[in-house]
């Protein structure tokens, strides 16, 4: 999770660092990093390349996922540069918030929403992951346990508990 946050933060820093020319002549990335992500004003997450067009607004650079998005953003920026910048920053903020709530390495996550990351315990209880959540790691998989008691039970027989997690997950589908 933190790796994705660092990557997205790097994209924001990259966008800020790129000194811009005018909207008519958008700058191109000279040597894009292979692991850099950008969030377009339309909401698409993509990897910028040498063909990526950028929008200059408010002294910052915003990567556009396509020529069409760049054209729309440029038209918006011509009318209201602050609105164009706000839209790009809002989409980036939405993706950052979602990534903060995700826990992709946990096999029993069933939902990611504004409320947080919901998991289904091997005992059948649905719960939201938090700082107190304890995890069972078995055969390369990680499972979130709803309580300390469930975790203690799970570590006594991880193979049996793995089957219970899998049973609960398949029943939930």
Based on the fold, state whether residues 90 and 135 are members of the same structural domain: no
Based on the fold, state whether residues 96 and 14 are members of the same structural domain: yes
Among candidate residues 80, 101, 122, the one where a domain is terminated: 101
Here the tokens at position 28 are 């191109």
Task: Count up the domains in the chain and report the number.
Answer: 2
d(CA 43, CA 94): 9
Based on the fold, state whether residues 90 and 9 are members of the same structural domain: yes
Q: Work out the number of other CB atoms within 10 angstroms of the CB of residue 88.
A: 28
For residue 128, what pLDDT band results from cuts at 50, 70 and 90? very high
d(CA 57, CA 3): 28
The SS3 call for residue 134 is strand
Based on the fold, state whether residues 129 and 159 are members of the same structural domain: yes
Based on the fold, state whether residues 20 and 82 are members of the same structural domain: yes
Based on the fold, state whether residues 83 and 143 are members of the same structural domain: no
Domain limits at 127? 109-172
What is the pLDDT, as a whole number, of residue 155? 92
d(CA 58, CA 4): 26
What is the pLDDT, as a whole number, of residue 42? 84
Among candidate residues 49, 81, 101, the one where a domain is terminated: 101
Cβ neighbours of residue 165 closer than 8 Å, sequence gap 6 or more: 107, 108, 120, 121, 122, 136, 143
Based on the fold, state whether residues 78 and 140 are members of the same structural domain: no
Q: What angle do CA 15, 17, 20 make, to 5 degrees?
A: 80
Based on the fold, state whether residues 113 and 91 are members of the same structural domain: no
Based on the fold, state whether residues 59 and 79 are members of the same structural domain: yes
Q: Convert the pLDDT of each residue in 15-39 to its tens digit.
A: 444 434 333 444 454 554 555 778 8
Based on the fold, state whether residues 38 and 120 are members of the same structural domain: no
What is the pLDDT, as a whole number, of residue 154? 92
Based on the fold, state whether residues 34 and 113 are members of the same structural domain: no
For residue 3, what pLDDT band results from cuts at 50, 70 and 90? low
């Amino acid at each position: 999770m933190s790796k994705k946050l660092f990557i997205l933060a790097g994209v924001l820093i990259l966008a800020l660092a790129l000194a811009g020319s005018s909207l008519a002549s958008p700058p191109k990335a000279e040597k894009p990093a292979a692991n850099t992500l950008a969030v377009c004003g339309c909401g698409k997450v993509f990897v910028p390349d040498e063909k990526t067009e950028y929008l200059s607004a408010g002294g910052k650079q915003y990567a556009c996922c396509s020529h069409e998005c760049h054209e729309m953003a440029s038209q918006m920026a011509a009318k209201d540069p602050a609105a164009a910048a706000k839209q790009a920053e809002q989409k980036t903020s939405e993706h950052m918030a979602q990534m903060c709530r995700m826990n992709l390495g946990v096999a029993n996550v069933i939902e990611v929403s504004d409320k947080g990351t919901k998991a289904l315990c091997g005992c059948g209880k649905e719960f939201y992951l938090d700082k107190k959540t304890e995890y069972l790691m078995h055969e390369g998989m990680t499972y979130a346990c709803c309580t300390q008691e469930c975790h203690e039970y799970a570590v006594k027989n991880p193979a049996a508990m793995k089957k219970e997690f899998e049973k609960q997950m398949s029943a939930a589908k």
